[in-house]
Amino acid sequence: MKKIGRNDPCPCGSGKKFKNCHLGKEEELTLEGMGEFSADMSRRITSLPQVWYGRSREMVGSLNIHKLTGVRAGIRLIDMDRYMDLDLLGRSRPSDEEKITGGLLVNVLKTQASDPDNMYIAISRDIGESALVHQLAHVLDYLGGSKLMPGLAKPLSYDLQIPVEHVEHPHEFGFWLDYLYTHFDVQPDADDAIVVYLYQNDMLLKGSEIEEQQRTTLKSKSDRMMRFLSEKSQEIDDLICELPGYIGSRVNEA
């Protein structure tokens, strides 16, 4: 597997250096050779011990994955720092500033060779409720929604020059996000509140449109989403202004 240098162009196609883009977030990339991820590398992930931080035990334990999605699969949570320390792509150890916090859905291509029955989420010790809900929504969306793995459509967003968030969070993901926030009685953070708002107003891209790379449709609907956010700017600000993660009006950046 080719080693990516910190100063090399990021494989996602953003034009940024790897260290300023996807260093530490390689599972989001469709890297050449990902299909060659060895069983030994897979076992290094799946052998990490299960962890239960925050409300994770309660949340995971209350989800009947088969009933919700029709797929028999489990969820295993592993420690974020120990996962990052595996150094699976031969990169340099990330600095404290580059470390990922919160949660991260591990690409199934990395784990299916040694444990095809479980989905893996790496979580930080201080993970909050909204971050847990967000990652669980990605699991349910992959198993019983759009069936898209987060991150794999990012190069398409750069190619079409549409916001990454538009392809990262399709309509089906919005359904599960809305469901889980209600199910667990959790207050969403500002970003997720916007995603739920867009879902409830039927503004999110469909998973099939992303998977089939319907370029004209994706660009048109992304532009429509941007106009909608602009038109509803005051309503959105009122919705998110007291939520965690609010950093001021971001309507024109969405």
Between 101 and 144, the higher pLDDT residue: 144
Decide: helix, strand or coil at residue 222: helix
The predicted pLDDT at position 123 comes to 97
Residue 214, CA distances (Å) to 86, 163, 172, 203 in order:
37, 16, 17, 16
Q: What local confidence, expressed as pLDDT, does residue 159 receive?
A: 86
Out of 24-38, 103-117, 173-187, pick the least confident.
Answer: 24-38
Q: Which two tokens stand for residue 224?
A: 């429509």
Retrieve residue 172's tokens.
Answer: 């089906």
Residue 95 banded pLDDT, cuts 50, 70, 90: low
Distance CA 150, CA 82 (A): 21
Helix/strand/coil for 29: coil
One-letter amino acid at 172 equals E
Residue position matching structure tokens 């404290």: 96
Q: How confident is the model at residue 172 (pLDDT cuts 50, 70, 90)?
A: very high
Q: Which of 250, 200, 218, 88 minimizes the C-alpha distance to 153?
A: 218
Record the pTM.
Answer: 0.83
Inter-residue contact 189 to 245 (CB < 8 Å): yes
Greater pLDDT, 12 or 253: 12
- Mean pLDDT lowest among 1-10, 28-37, 78-87: 28-37
pLDDT tens figures, 124-141: 999 999 999 999 999 999
Report the C-alpha gap between 177 and 102 in whole angstroms: 16
Evaluate if residue 2 carries a pLDDT over 50. Answer: no
CA distance linking residue 189 with residue 128, whole number of Å: 10
Looking only at the bridges linking them, the beta strands covering 103-105 and 118-123 are antiparallel
